[in-house]
Amino acid sequence: MSTIFSQIVEGEIPARVVYEDETTMAFLDANPLAPGHTLVIPKDEYERLNDVPEDVAADLYATIHRMVPAVEESVDADATTVAFNNGEEAGQEVPHVHCHIVPRFEGDGGGPIHAMFGGPADLEDDELDDIADEIESRA
């Protein structure tokens, strides 16, 4: 079964499409967190970031790079929060990779990404060293 975003790509359900090329598309979020809240997707259906092939990932970033200033200028935003919820446990509701571009305004109360958590994780130096080693060995 295709995702709701694939149905938008196919024109089966309406959306306010603001950009489209061969491999990517951008459209307004149906439940905007701020005026101009835009989603950028690969047209093909991939659930998680690392399911996206490298060439499509490059196209996706190019579209994000194009859309951030377009969105900011259109709604006179001071900044943007640009984010992916990557996986269900991270809050991803639609299993089709999408980048949120959320316009931000001074005093909008949204806070930084750090506001999602109560505070920094309690980790000792040796744990941080081990984690860094594990990540480095896989990079």
Binding site for ligand 5GP (CB under 6 A): 4, 15, 27-31, 85, 91-94
Q: What is the 3-state secondary structure (H, E, C) of 59-98?
A: HHHHHHHHHHHHHHHHHCCCEEEEECCCCHHHCCCCCCCC
Distance from C-alpha of 47 to C-alpha of 98, rounded to nearest angstrom: 9
Query: Which C-beta is closer to ligand 5GP: that of 81 or that of 92?
Result: 92
Report the relative pairing of strands 24-28 and 17-20 from DSSP bridges.
antiparallel
Residue (31 or 137) nearer to ligand 5GP, CB: 31
Q: How far apart are CA 59 and CA 57, in angstroms?
A: 5
Tokens of 98: 């999408």
- By beta-carbon proximity to ligand 5GP, the closer residue of 50 and 131 is 50
37 noted as active-site residue:
no
Rounded least distance, CB 16 to ligand 5GP, Å: 7
Q: How far is the CB of 33 from ligand 5GP (least distance, A)?
A: 7
Catalytic residue among 37, 65, 98, 100: 98
Q: Minimal distance in Å, beta carbon 134 to ligand 5GP?
A: 27
- Residues involved in catalysis: 98
